[in-house]
């Protein structure tokens, strides 16, 4: 069945039928606007992301279910990075007319399953026809007590820089997808990222975090955002970057020992700050976006408390550096030398 | 200057510099999410619309300033149709890489001027590159006391159906644009609609309205939404449809007397319910969308109160029919016969 047979309002009704009621939603899908009842004493956190076919996703790389799931996950990740609980979301979708109804059914199933997992209710949005590719816009809302909201701007010199999980996986997964690989750990990290909602909320409620961001543009660029907003600098120790065994294997480090490889293969690189191409496990881990891990700062001495919080949600956490009184992010290679990355991160309007 | 030279984050900084602070915005542009402080005792109304180049707008028809203004106006209109005051909005924009910076400057100037006029503050969003055309997504938030929110679902048999301003103008303006006309009243109604914010709020606060919607899909379809959501029917009297003199002139009714023309030219049409093509002033007024007038229902006897409210904001209002106990919308031609429209309204996935 094609969407043209169902029609715009038929599609909206079909979506609406699968959305559960929520006490905070006074009026959901089907009016000019949704009416939401804010929780007294809490602030509303709101974020919006667009995902465009050919820019953010390739339909030959993923099934509709996973695309729907990811489209919500990247927005939930932004809510989590504020230390807030997701509550509601809106979906805008521009669909080519020849999209089969099954595509939308799969897309919505993935999105609504993920929404249910994290307590977010679909309350409205927009559906329209696209003359180009598929375009998706998600707006997510969360709530938190104002004093617990975690901004990018609170980092202070001496704070430790932490990151959850591992980094570089999603970027490596994207490279694998372009090379024809369609499954495995790295590909799953790219296509189906996990928003760190429980962790973000637990960290906020523990009151130990001074600044937080999610890793969407790459560790280096996202840490740069924290530094800029906090009026501080940072020193990052590459040896402490959490890299998955899959990522290391992808980089050719089958012994899972980047430090050994650095020492073995990086004689020239150690001097220039650049390892030979294909042998540097840090470049992609620093610049690669879309891991959707949490990057955050804590006062020195709070490591064990943070480790306990992350352990309680079964998520590894690593201290990777320190906030400094300077500006910009300084990188220290495993041998103690200064490291210059080949690229810093993703800019949508950049040349490459 | 091209966007590529400024970069994604340079563009965000440039936009941010033109946004005024607001007491309800604890955290605006530049973090993972915005933090908004809801007004105690009020509910949040939220709506989102996408506008795509080639579907919703044609860059050869309008300047960037007017496009930015309209992109916000259509969302403010949805907030107004709930009887709510606009408060905040988010902007997602996907830009072709060759868009000149001047385009974005003009677009933002129009959007922010309109935002200021209606008390809405830009709090966040997303900018990214587009490989297709320009894509815009706006999410608007408003507030109102819960008991004053105006839904589509409250119309009761016997209620009078009212509409502000005139209808059909925007659809006629679009036809003129396609015919090469670039200015005039009708074109302005299409490119630069006025969201009826003051009127929507005043009607809500007067407590006289049982159901409301904005005319975005056309009077017939939008009235159909009220009927469907209210479990009622409607009878619309075409002779009472408010048509502007510009609209009537466009339809070939230079004497501004549609009824006279109906009687003069519609001998055959009156019998079949169809006037000869090009002579029916009602078809486009019923099916044409984007007038962004308010269509609402009031209990019988409240006409003068509503007329006074609309007069206080200098907006004409017309009673155009009555809610019935049936289903669907029945149309009565000026001669009392039943009228069948050639098309009902706009469906994004429809064949035409």
Q: Which CATH number fits domain B150-332: 3.90.650.10, 3.40.50.1170, 3.30.230.10, 3.40.50.12780?
A: 3.90.650.10
- Comparing CA positions, the residue from B213, B194, B201 lying closest to residue B78 is B213
The mean pLDDT of B124-135, rounded to a whole number, is 92
Tens of pLDDT, residue by residue over B6-33, are 888 888 999 999 998 899 999 999 999 9
User: Considering only CA atoms, which of A111, A211, A101, A106 is closest in space to residue A161?
Assistant: A211
> B197-206 vs B303-312: helix axis angle to the nearest 10?
140
CB contact under 8 A, B32 and A78: yes
Neighbours of B272 (CB within 10 A): 11
Q: Which is nearest to B288 in space by CA: B348, B210, B184, B216?
A: B216
**Is A189 known to sit in a ligand binding site?**
no
A102 is in an annotated binding site: no
Q: How confident is the model at residue A259 (pLDDT cuts 50, 70, 90)?
A: very low
CB contact under 8 A, A92 and B141: no
B38 contacts chain A (CB < 8 A): yes
Inter-chain residue contact A124 with B36, CB threshold 8 Å? no
Q: Which CATH class is domain A151-332?
A: alpha beta
* A120-169 tens-digit pLDDT: 999 999 999 998 899 999 999 999 999 999 999 999 999 999 999 999 99
By Cβ distance, the residue of A124, A141, A142 closest to B47 is A124
Give rounded-to-5 percent helix, strand, coil for chain A.
Answer: 35, 25, 40
Rounded distance between C-alpha atoms, residue B184 and residue B192, angstroms: 11
List Cα–Cα distances, B53 to B71, B151, B350, in angstroms. 12, 31, 18
CATH 3.30.1330.10 assigned to B3-147: yes
Going by the DSSP 8-state scheme, the letter that residue A266 receives in this structure is -
Instruction: Answer yes or no: are the C-beta atoms of B204 and B148 closer than 8 Å.
Output: yes
Instruction: Judge whether A24 is annotated as a binding position.
Output: no
d(CA B99, CA A240): 41
For B100, which DSSP code? B
- Residue B280: what pLDDT? 77
Any CB–CB contact under 8 A between A213 and chain B?
yes
What is residue B257's predicted lDDT score, i.e. its pLDDT? 44
**What is the domain partition of chain A in residue ranges?**
3-147, 151-332
Higher model confidence: residue B191 or residue A263? B191
Residue (of B56, B114, B46, B125) closest to B84 by Cα position: B46
Confidence of residue B267 (pLDDT cuts 50, 70, 90): very low
Helices A101-117 and A64-80 pack at an angle, to 10 degrees, of 30
Specify burial of residue B137 (Cβ count, 10 A radius: 0-12, 13-18, 19+).
Answer: buried
Q: Cβ of A35 and B9 within 8 Å?
A: no
Contact A350 B9 (CB under 8 A): no
| Amino acid B350: pLDDT | 62
Q: What is the DSSP string of A148-164?
A: G---STT--TTPEEEEE
State the Cα–Cα distance between residues A312 and A309, nearest whole angstrom. 5
How far, in Å, CA of A307 to CA of A297, rounded? Answer: 13
Q: Is the pLDDT of residue A98 over 80?
A: yes
Query: What's the rounded Cα separation, in Å, for the pair B146 and B130?
Result: 39
Q: Which of A35, A47, A214 sits opposite B43 (nearest CB)?
A: A35
CA distance B41 to chain A (A): 9
């Amino acid at each position: 069945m094609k969407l043209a047979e169902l029609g715009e309002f038929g599609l909206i009704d079909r979506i609406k039928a699968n959305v559960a009621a929520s006490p905070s939603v006074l009026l959901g899908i089907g009016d000019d606007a949704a009416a939401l009842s804010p929780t007294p004493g809490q602030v509303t956190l709101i974020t919006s992301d667009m995902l465009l076919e050919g820019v953010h996703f390739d339909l030959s790389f993923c099934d509709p279910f996973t695309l729907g799931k990811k489209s919500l996950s990247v927005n939930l990740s932004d809510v989590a990075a504020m230390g807030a609980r997701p509550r509601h979301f809106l979906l805008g979708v521009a669909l080519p007319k020849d999209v089969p109804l099954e595509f939308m059914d799969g897309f919505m199933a993935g999105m609504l399953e993920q929404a249910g997992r994290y307590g977010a209710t679909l309350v409205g949005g927009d559906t329209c026809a696209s003359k180009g590719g598929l375009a998706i816009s998600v707006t997510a809302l969360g709530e938190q007590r104002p004093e617990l909201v975690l901004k990018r701007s609170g980092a202070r010199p001496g704070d430790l820089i932490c990151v959850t999980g591992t980094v570089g996986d999603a970027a490596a997964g994207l490279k694998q997808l372009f090379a024809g690989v369609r499954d495995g750990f790295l590909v799953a990290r790219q296509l189906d990222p996990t928003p760190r909602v429980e962790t973000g909320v637990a960290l906020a409620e523990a009151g130990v975090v001074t600044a937080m961001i999610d890793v969407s543009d790459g560790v280096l660029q996202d840490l740069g955002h924290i530094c800029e907003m906090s009026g501080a600098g940072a020193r990052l120790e590459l040896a402490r970057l959490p890299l998955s065994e899959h990522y290391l294997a992808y980089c050719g480090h089958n012994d899972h020992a980047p430090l050994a490889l650095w020492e073995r293969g990086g004689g020239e690189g150690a001097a220039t700050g650049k390892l030979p191409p294909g042998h540097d496990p840090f470049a992609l881990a620093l610049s690669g976006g879309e891991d959707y891990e949490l990057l955050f700062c804590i006062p020195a001495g709070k490591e064990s408390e943070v480790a306990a919080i992350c352990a309680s949600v079964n998520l590894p956490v690593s201290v990777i550096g320190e906030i400094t009184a300077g500006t910009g992010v300084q990188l220290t290679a495993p041998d103690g030398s200064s490291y210059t990355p080949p690229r810093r991160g993703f800019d949508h309007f950049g040349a490459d």
